[in-house]
Structure 1
């Protein structure tokens, strides 16, 4: 296209329109000037559209020569964004307008100038160059440090007794889980320890190393009776004596197993560091005290049983017997006796005139529901009492208490005191580390202080987790309930938490529980609720 008196020139990437009046030139408009720029090879440049439109008017009206810039060449632009933590780099590309496009080498030069040397994604760079226009496109990423794993302890025997009770989501323990006595021989493997790992350092995109948190390295417990590390493998725990393996924290102990036919005047009292298995009865006035489990295949008649583990009685517990266990207690029936369990009391048949106390639950009559009952005496549990028939109109008052655990309260108070001390230690070490860093660490103590500080943080974190677990257990106590399969008969004083109801009438099958808004309720099998003690 040739327009008399109108020419285009370029200087230093700037495009100018030169105008001189011409009588024989037809009128021009913005479209004509755009076509002129296109034909002259300036169509890809940045066009000044408003200037071009104004110039078209001037070309038709102004009689004197003039020169005006109507376009310019612009190279492609690149914007680099580095995250404050130096873990991500993004690029934004604006395309060239008649100028130079961004090349792969150009992006590499910009990254190098910004100090980006790690985690560059070559494929992402090529993709950005191919598109020519892109916003906030990630092209490099740092690698986070991988914290070390804490030391792990894996039991090698599936049937190893575990005396740590396992709670379900309702805060109850499966009272049916009673493992038999497993016996190991000297040299038999018990547990494998996997040492803690240091972790893997990370890097920012600028190459700065990120230190990992090393795992907490724990050794086998120093007090593992009957077990020892293998001579050729310090991370393998094996039995040193024959006996019953029992899981404890960071290890396994092996308790000797003592088997006797009967505990009577002929055998004498039994005091044993381990597990005791009695094939017959434990007779009146006799004592069996064991650090492990006690298994009685007969009856307990007016005797004393104390166990650090579980107590299982195939027959009955009668005649003012006293039975105390850190774990569970199970028996066929109980009468006029005192039974204390750290976890669960399970009575197959009936409990008459007994003092029952469990830190989790009492279950009566599950195996013989037609005979199962709790009559007279008292029953205290944290979470659950389940019994077919509660009370009797032919006996005195039966006292039932649910939803309290003094042991948990004491543990929580002690833990809070420990947390305060551990937090103070961590803060003091942190201040000392900052002070040493600021003064140049003249005595070379900084690394040791940092290591001690990391250990203090780990100890404090572990205590926080313990507190959360305790709080969860205490929150679950609000779900405490008394379940009656047949009903209530006779006088029963029933308290759940701080609410006391004196039951002096019959109730059908149903459950007694606390509703935070309503109070102490009884809900029958059909779901109908009545308030016994308002909130």
Structure 2
């Protein structure tokens, strides 16, 4: 009888599912049982255990076997993989309150309402952001000696905008000029100078088209246009004017649109109210008082839950959520709330389909030309100029295939985003009245009776209404 066979009578070896732990269980025992630790280790090696043996535990099992009659004891421990850490971009400024008007509180506790503009100004050469490279991770090892792979950290890169510099190591970003630090569409970091108007935008000022941030300490009158590569701040009212900013727009007084003009921001829009207006934002639209008979479109959220928090009439669209205190009124004014709507993505998808069609047609022409050239080559009739053309067409084909794959990947990504209505939601803090219509993705729900404190979301092919928690 072999030693291993003898020990098989007394011991059973088992493993955890991931083989990072091996267990020894005594299946039989008698008072005459004796075993050397070397013999037990040899027995375990015969069961494929190559790594992480717990020698102290094995010694105890050999010397005090009676203690282990009924237990399942870990006798070998592998190592778990340590997954890599993603690279991190750390902004050295808090932009959470960017462009938000807030009165200055002085040291003696008084509030100075004349000083409401405190922007994220930076000096030339000032550190704006740092980049920490990813960490690769450490593989693990099973008790049988196999390697458990780890996930490497993902790389991250600075999104370089205007008037910023990155050091050669690409670990730090600095301001290239004195100006206002601004995050524009797609997260680009910029430093913009500020253009300030101390009064109304009227015939004495005219239209404004500026590469930085525009501050208007007055009203913007009907028919005028302001375009800014940074933010727009208006301390007064905006009438039927056109405001367009790549960053955010903040209007302290409110918007009276007269059903003409628009307010459009790449990032956020904030205002006290909107009446007969058109407002578009790449991210959030936050209205403290009311939205009345207006067309509102936000890439992410529309928030109207202040003291009044009223939405009545018009159409409100949001990529993710609409949160309001009251929607509609007792007169059942038609009010449409749509969530999960991303028209920009749908437009991009349409453009990508056109591009893909053009690429396929171009590829077809390239393939036909290459077929003819390859036939000439096979017949030994390829002249030097046609040889050069053949090389050029092969490079073009490779580039075309790469572009097609990029287009297809982006199309698939957009299609998945358009199908995902899991985050789409409408929340009513107080009351929603009859006449309101809730649209989520391809689904519609009409509201007939006033209902208080509810939330609407998509579930199992329909729009569900549940009490607001």
Shorter-chain TM-score tier: 0.5 to 0.7
Structure 1 runs not aligned, ≥5 long? 1-11, 13-73, 164-177, 418-458, 528-535
On the 8 A contact 1:300/1:321 being kept in 2, the answer is no
User: Which residue, 212, 222, 227 being the options, matches 2:164?
Assistant: 227
Aligned partners of 2:34, 2:135: CA distance in 1, in Å? Answer: 49
Match of 2:40 in 1: 107
On the 8 A contact 1:118/1:204 being kept in 2, the answer is yes
On the 8 A contact 1:294/1:312 being kept in 2, the answer is yes
Aligned partners of 1:237, 1:153: CA distance in 2, in Å? Answer: 10
1:234 alignment partner, SS class: coil
Question: 1:56-455 residue pairs with structure 2 within 5 A?
Answer: 79=11, 81=13, 83=15, 87-93=20-26, 94-95=28-29, 98=32, 101-111=34-44, 116-133=49-66, 134=68, 136-159=72-95, 181-221=119-159, 223-230=160-167, 234-247=170-183, 252-262=189-199, 263-318=201-256, 319=258, 320-364=260-304, 366-367=306-307, 369=308, 376-381=313-318, 383-384=321-322, 386=324, 388=326, 390-391=328-329, 398-407=334-343, 410=346
On the 8 A contact 1:363/1:387 being kept in 2, the answer is no
Q: State the 1:314 CA deviation.
A: 1.3
Aligned partners of 1:508, 1:132: CA distance in 2, in Å? Answer: 71
Aligned length: 380
On the 8 A contact 1:494/1:502 being kept in 2, the answer is yes
1:480 aligns with 2:395: no
Match of 2:437 in 1: 494
Q: State the 1:297 CA deviation.
A: 0.8
CA RMSD of aligned residues (A): 4.7
On the 8 A contact 1:89/1:139 being kept in 2, the answer is yes
On the 8 A contact 1:117/1:207 being kept in 2, the answer is yes
Which of these two proteins has the greater Rg computed from alpha carbons? 1
On the 8 A contact 1:95/1:101 being kept in 2, the answer is no
2:337 alignment partner, SS class: strand
Q: Deviations over 1:193-235 (max 9, x none)?
A: 22112222333335444443322233334x333322246x631
Query: TM-score with structure 2 length normalisation?
Result: 0.64
Structure 2 runs not aligned, ≥5 long? 100-115, 354-405
On the 8 A contact 1:299/1:316 being kept in 2, the answer is yes
Q: State the 1:388 CA deviation.
A: 4.8
Query: TM-score with structure 1 length normalisation?
Result: 0.57
Aligned partners of 1:411, 1:189: CA distance in 2, in Å? Answer: 38
Residues 472, 256 of structure 1: CA spacing in aligned structure 2 closer, same or farther, 3 A cutoff?
farther
On the 8 A contact 2:254/2:274 being kept in 1, the answer is yes
Aligned partners of 1:180, 1:148: CA distance in 2, in Å? Answer: 40
